[in-house]
Amino acid sequence: MDLFLQTLVNGILIGGILICLTIGFQLTFGVLHVIDFAVGGWAMLGGYTAYWLVTLVGIDPFISIFLVFALFLLIGRGMGPLIYRVRTSRYARPDLMALAFTFGIFLFMQGGALWLWSYNSRSVESVLSGQFLSLGPVTIPLMRLSAFLMAMLFSLGLFILLYRSRFGMAVRALAQDRDHAGLMGVDVKRVSAWVYGIYTGLTAAAGVLIATIYSVNPSVGVRYTLFAFFVAVLAGLGSVGGVLVAGLALGLLEAYVATYIGARYSLLIVFGTLYLALLVAPKGVLGRGI
């Protein structure tokens, strides 16, 4: 029973971080209609940036995460118009062109990471490393608990932005109908570019949190991309609210599979579960996806 409770807590803590990893990805799909293959790459670069900041400057990752968010927000904002141009081009199948374009970005990121940091894993140390909180039979690493709380803070900030600001109203209008939003005075290109910036900032911040718990190397981007796709599809493509349920579900599923069956089977069982879930609910767990 103690092991079951410990696994439950671990799954919830990891699920919260996966929510932060995927929520921007969902928002970008809802507004730009782009399936961004580079999602894992943004998370990987966020982890490496935190590694550099703690190694070269000595800034703790739970402080540097705000710098990483701001840096990648600006990078994504700069790339936003290019993504928008590719997705709205008049050539044949702009959706596939955008898919190929983001896949190329991901390969560029992975190759650059190999060149800069080699294949070796890098640990991102924090003052919280090695500290634990005991609650009865459950032991909670303070690093995981802090990462979970930070992920919830970023996710809550996004929901407040979406539902308590004029910018958020414009974003939701774009997600519902781009043409009508444009006719109502929304600057579609500008808002779309900022949405892409928010997505890259959130994803890089999630990458910092994941790197503090595990480590970061050039191959982790593929794994993060697979997890983001799992959460996005299970939530229902474009459904930001569904990410809350799907992210926790993935965290719990992976934790229990790793504990009771074996970590080597986690991806097999995760995607088998996704296949079965889609047979029952093809529009996601809340039935609000595309």
pLDDT at 21: 86
CA–CA distance, 76 with 197 (Å, rounded to integer): 4
Q: What angle do CA 192, 193, 199 make, to 5 degrees?
A: 90
Q: How many residues does the chain have?
A: 290
pLDDT at 54: 93
In the structure encoding, which two tokens stand for residue 203, read together?
């994803």
The one-digit pLDDT tens for each residue of the chain (290 residues) are 778 889 999 889 888 888 888 888 888 888 888 888 899 999 999 999 999 999 999 999 999 999 999 999 999 999 999 988 888 877 767 888 888 889 999 999 999 999 998 888 888 888 888 888 888 788 888 888 888 898 889 889 988 998 999 999 999 998 888 888 888 888 899 999 999 999 999 999 999 999 998 889 988 888 888 888 888 888 887 777 788 888 888 889 888 988 888 888 888 888 788 788 878 877 777 666 55
| One-character DSSP codes across 252-274 | HHHHHHHHHT-GGGHHHHHHHHH
CA–CA distance, 186 with 164 (Å, rounded to integer): 17
Which residue has 């209008």 as its token pair?
173
Q: What is the DSSP letter of 54?
A: I
CA–CA distance, 282 with 260 (Å, rounded to integer): 29
CA–CA distance, 113 with 44 (Å, rounded to integer): 9
pLDDT at 223: 84
Label residues 143-171 b or e (16+ Cβ within 10 Å = b).
bbbbbbebbeebbeebeeebeeeeeeebb
1-280: CATH architecture: Orthogonal Bundle (1.10)
Distance between terminal CA atoms of the chain?
40
pLDDT at 287: 64
CA–CA distance, 8 with 218 (Å, rounded to integer): 29
| 3-state class (DSSP) for residue 124 | coil
Backbone φ, ψ for residue 93 (5° rounding): 50, 60
**What pTM value is reported for the model?**
0.91
pLDDT at 1: 75
Which residue has 């799954």 as its token pair?
11
